[in-house]
Chain A
Amino acid sequence: MTIFLLGPLLFVAAMSFAQRGENGEIVWRLTTENYARLFGQGALGFDPVHPLLLARSLGVGVVTAALCLLAGLPVAFFIARLPRRWKGAVLTLVVIPFWTNLLIRTYGWQIILAPDGWVADVLRTAGWLAQGAELYPGWPAVLIALVCDYLPFMILPLYASVEKLDPALEEAAADLGASPMQAFWHVVLPQIRPGLVAGCVLVFLPATGQFVIPDLLGGAKLALLGNAVQQQFGASRDWPFGSAIAVAALLVMGAGLWLHTWMTKGKREVALP
């Protein structure tokens, strides 16, 4: 188990310091060239492609987490306040799409958001979508599919926190003259913070490394870290550089987890669906 897991990962890390030969073979000579490329050093001076890629991936992760939070909060409150015997059923309902094939859900969105589909038509008629602009391929489709994909990751830990919430505190705040908004901000939010942080991390990490969704819904211009890894391992046959990107993705993951542990002071609540 350790051999099959740590071995390959260490091998990737080692590979990221190697060079690419003429025909895509691997030349084992120690170099940091791959990382320099990742941070924008090109053959002809500064090349923004890869730093932009990093920034775009992180940005997508943050935006997806924020959107999931907005969508997930009311749902978590709704489920937590259901009668006991309904909770399990609704939670299962939330989890089922997560366990169905990601590819299927992704191409489902492809159909819904098609340029000549009715969603695009309605939005155009309402004037919310410019004539000639498209939902798919493009950012809207990628974000919609990402939120749809990772929403369960947000709802489950949020629900676990909301469930433990003591409603008496909220009522006390109201009795002491706090507006609902103030009560939420000062009383509810600090209490559900562990779930909130866990949810954001659980959404952010996989969203940053997503490969299928941007590949199928984004078109060529919206590549993220995952697509770049695939590109280097597939078409470009530059395995060392691909490894460097994979290591970067791992570091992002490590940083996210560390931030999580730090924010919750070591009391990690890992919610596995």
Chain B
Amino acid sequence: MNTRRSPLTAVAALVALVFLYAPLAVVLVFSFNAARYGTDWQGFTVDWYVRLLNNPTAIAAAINTLQLAFTSTFFATLFGTALAYGMSRYEFPGKGLFHHVLHIPVFIPDIVLGVALLLFFALVRRFLAGFELGMTTMTLAHITLQIPFIAIVVRARMADCDPQLEEAAADLGAGPWLTFRHVTLPLMMPGIVAGSLLAFTLSLDDFVVSFFTSGPGATTLPILIYSSVKRGLTPEVHALASLIVVVSAASVITVAILRGRSQVRS
């Protein structure tokens, strides 16, 4: 191992990290600033957080966001896991093509996915009366966005697992369901948990896809932030943004710890 470490790369790395965290830090600092307008520091306050908790619009948006994230993550985890299981254990025609299709949402600009789904929903609405844009369409859109990420993570996990374990269970007299329940599922679990946390974060953060597929009634936190940025920022938005940052960071750290653990175990 090369132990030669130049101080130059250390400085560069430090600068890069500061650069990455600067915008987050600014928002966090200003959420505690007593000044209503402008960027002058006028003392520490938690007033904006208190006001935020009494703001019905923000609360409604938060409930929408969480409901959306939980519902879509639940279904995406089911489908994504089933997909990963099917793709790694069975052969079927068109599997290669399907593998490529699966990677589309990972690379596609999210705005293209957003308008594609919007057009699709508009088409469905012509044939299906009462199918309005709103929470349902947004949930469907998020599930579409999340499935590939979950499937990819779970599949990577399954590729690391030894298929002989399942064969051994079958040899010992376990039926397909018992084998799946007691051998395959526990093996897949770290992948499923990591994948669904990732998908959950993805849903919480998504703005572009929601922006296109939400109706006038359904506002999520990112949409709320976008419209406040357009209208003019208030310290309450800083407080809201800071809370979101903390939740996202906590979830990323959890995923990192889970992954680290599963690596140590295997």
By a beta-carbon cutoff of 8 Å, the part of chain A in contact with chain B is 1-2, 4-9, 11-12, 15, 71-72, 74-75, 77-79, 81, 88, 90, 92-97, 99-112, 114, 116-117, 145, 147-148, 151-152, 155, 167, 170, 205-206, 208-212, 216, 225-226, 229-230, 233, 239, 242-243, 246, 249-250, 253, 257, 270, 272
Contact = CB atoms under 8 A, between A and B. Distances in A.
Given A4-B140, A102-B207, A112 B222 contact: no
Shortest 8 CB-CB distances between A and B: which pairs?
A108-B23, A209-B109, A167-B2, A74-B12, A8-B116, A8-B120, A78-B13, A78-B9
B13 A75 contact: yes
Given A211-B208, A239-B119, A249 B109 contact: yes
Contacts of B46: none
A77 B8 CA distance: 10
13 contacts: A12-B112, A74-B13, A75-B13, A92-B253, A96-B252, A151-B20, A155-B16, A211-B109, A216-B229, A246-B116, A253-B108, A272-B152, A272-B153
Given A71-B19, A108-B23, 7 more contacts: A2-B101, A9-B116, A74-B8, A96-B249, A97-B20, A111-B30, A148-B23
Contacts of B44: none
A191 B201 CA distance: 34
Interface of B: 1-5, 8-10, 12-13, 16-17, 19-27, 30, 39, 79, 83, 98, 101, 103-113, 115-120, 123, 140, 143-144, 147, 149, 152-153, 201, 204-205, 207-208, 212, 222, 225-226, 229, 233, 241, 244-245, 248-249, 251-253, 256, 260
A12 B119 contact: yes
Given A74-B8, A212-B207, A226 B101 contact: no
Contact of B111 (A5, A226, A239, A272): A226
B106 A272 contact: yes
Interface of B is mostly: helix
A24 to B, nearest CB: 12
A243 B19 contact: no
A79 B111 contact: no
A7 B113 CA distance: 11
B108 to A, nearest CB: 6
Given A1-B144, A99-B248, A103-B207, A229 B21 contact: no
Contacts of B30: 111
A148 B252 CA distance: 18
Contacts of B24: 97, 100, 104-105, 108
Given A74-B12, A272-B106, A101 B205 contact: yes
A4 B144 contact: yes
A114 B39 contact: yes
A106 B22 CA distance: 11
A77 B9 contact: yes
Nearest to A95: B252
A102 B225 CA distance: 11
Contacts of A111: 23, 26-27, 30, 39, 233
Contact of B83 (A1, A78, A110): A1
A233 B118 contact: yes
Given A2-B101, A93-B17, A239-B119, A100 B249 contact: yes
B115 A75 contact: no
A101 B256 CA distance: 18
Contacts of B10: 78
A246 B112 contact: yes
B252 A12 contact: no
A243 B119 contact: yes
A18 to B, nearest CB: 11
Contacts of A211: 109-111, 208
Contacts of A103: 207, 222, 225-226, 229, 241
Contacts of A170: 2
Nearest to A79: B13
Nearest to B79: A1
Contact of B1 (A100, A107, A167): A167
B248 to A, nearest CB: 5
A101 B245 contact: yes
Contacts of A155: 16
Contacts of A96: 248-249, 252-253
A233 B117 CA distance: 12
